[in-house]
Amino acid sequence: MSLLQVENIIKRFGGLLAVDSVSFSVPRGAVFGLIGPNGAGKTTVFNLITGNYGPNGGSVIFQDRDITGQPTHRIVAAGIARTFQTIRLFANMAVIENVLAGCHCRMRSGPVAAMLRLPSQHKEERQALSKAMAELEFVGLFDQAENLARNLSYGNQRLLEIARALASDPRLIILDEPAGGMNELETAALVSLIARIQARGITVLLIEHDMSLVMKACEQLVVLEYGKKIAEGTPAEIKKNPLVIEAYLGSDDEDF
């Protein structure tokens, strides 16, 4: 039973066909990897799923609902949260405030409630705050709550993005190169964090260049090259696939 289905999705930038009719389906509860050489269109696929870009064709089905071309905030509300390849935090705000951004879509009170200081609004704020603290504890940033986001280390900023994504109570979390800029220790911790996320019943879809992480963490992989899907399977199958080997050798990627 699949949680997310991407069907023949297409994206053009001017004359460039960045994503060429890619299809795959992510099973519920899985850790699913999207790999491929630089410029293969992986992040573009993510942006198509999360509604940052509108596709030129194809569809995205999430929990049996067509969410193609919906605005990003609706997609988040539907249960897909994400992190960004180039870290996008609210740099001049406190760590805790960054996580509260994720809580936003699960809250209800509007400007009028705030100005009238309704009890419901007050209670909701309190609940959101404890939820945010809980997520910080989950990723191991509990004691950094009052720091400014920009003062965190690179690895911790990645973790903060994950906490922010988790705060929106997603069914699917999309991680775009979560280990980018992390040292070995941090990467190892990330592998176990991904496992704990999976244990919470959240499906994980990730892009990663660190192949040791991909092989350890993912149950299933899709390989893209020049915007096309060239292979799909378990890590063990992918490792042996001649097309994949050629693609990676051709791009001189030593990680593989």
Partner 1 sequence: MKPAAGQIRKTAYAAIILLWMVAPLFIGKYWTDVLNNVAIYAVLGLSLNIILGYGGMFHMGHAAFYAVGAYTTAIVNTAWGVPVLWLMPAAGLAAGLFALVVARPIIHLRGDYLLIVTIGMVEIVRIALINNVFGITGGANGIFGISSPSVFGFQVNSIVAPAHYFYLVTAFLAITIVLFYLLENSRFGRALKFLCSDEVAAQGSGINTAGYKLAAFVIGAVWAGMTGTLYASKMGFISPESFSFWESVVMFMIVILGGSGNIAGVLLGAALIIGLPEIFQGLQQYRLLIFGLALMIMMIFRPQGILPPKPRSYPIDKLEKNEVSF
Partner 2 sequence: MEQFFTQLTNGLAVGGIYALIALGYTMVYGVLKLINFAHGDLFTIGAYLGLTLLTSLALTDHIGGIAGILLLAVMAMGLVGIIGILLDRAAYKPLRTSPRLSAVVSALGASIVLSNTVMLVYGPSTRVYPQGLLPSQVFYIFGLPVPVMRFIILGASILLMIGLYVFIQRTKIGTAIRAAAIDQDAARLMGINVDRVIMLVFFIGPALGGAAGVMVGLYYGQITFTMGWTYGLKAFTAAILGGIGNIPGAMVGGLLLGVIEALGAAYISMAWKDAIAFFVLILILIVRPTGLLGERVAEKI
Q: Binding of partner 1 at residue 133 (CB under 8 A)?
A: yes
Q: Which of 100, 139, 238, 244 binds partner 1 (CB under 8 A)?
A: 100
Q: Which of 37, 42, 43, 179 binds partner 2 (CB under 8 A)?
A: 43
Q: Centre a 10 Å sphere on the Cβ of residue 66 and count the other Cβ atoms it contains.
A: 12
Q: Which does 43 bind (CB under 5 to 8 A by kind): partner 1, partner 2, none?
A: partner 2
Q: Binding of partner 1 at residue 173 (CB under 8 A)?
A: no
How are beta strands 65-66 and 2-13 bridged, if at all? unpaired
Q: Binding of partner 1 at residue 137 (CB under 8 A)?
A: yes
Residues 59-88 that bind partner 2 (CB under 8 A): 84-86, 88
Q: Which of 20, 39, 57, 125 binds partner 1 (CB under 8 A)?
A: 125
Q: Which does 53 bind (CB under 5 to 8 A by kind): partner 2, partner 1, none?
A: partner 2
Q: Binding of partner 1 at residue 10 (CB under 8 A)?
A: no
Q: Which of 14, 15, 111, 242 binds partner 1 (CB under 8 A)?
A: 111
Q: Which does 13 bind (CB under 5 to 8 A by kind): partner 2, partner 1, none?
A: partner 2
Long-range interactions of 17-25: CB distance < 8 A, separation 24+: 17/227, 18/44, 18/227, 19/44, 19/45, 19/48, 19/55, 19/227, 20/226, 20/227, 20/228, 21/57, 21/58, 21/228, 22/58, 22/224, 22/227, 22/228, 22/229, 23/58, 23/229, 24/222, 24/229, 24/232
How far apart are alpha carbons 120 and 126 in whole angstroms?
A: 10
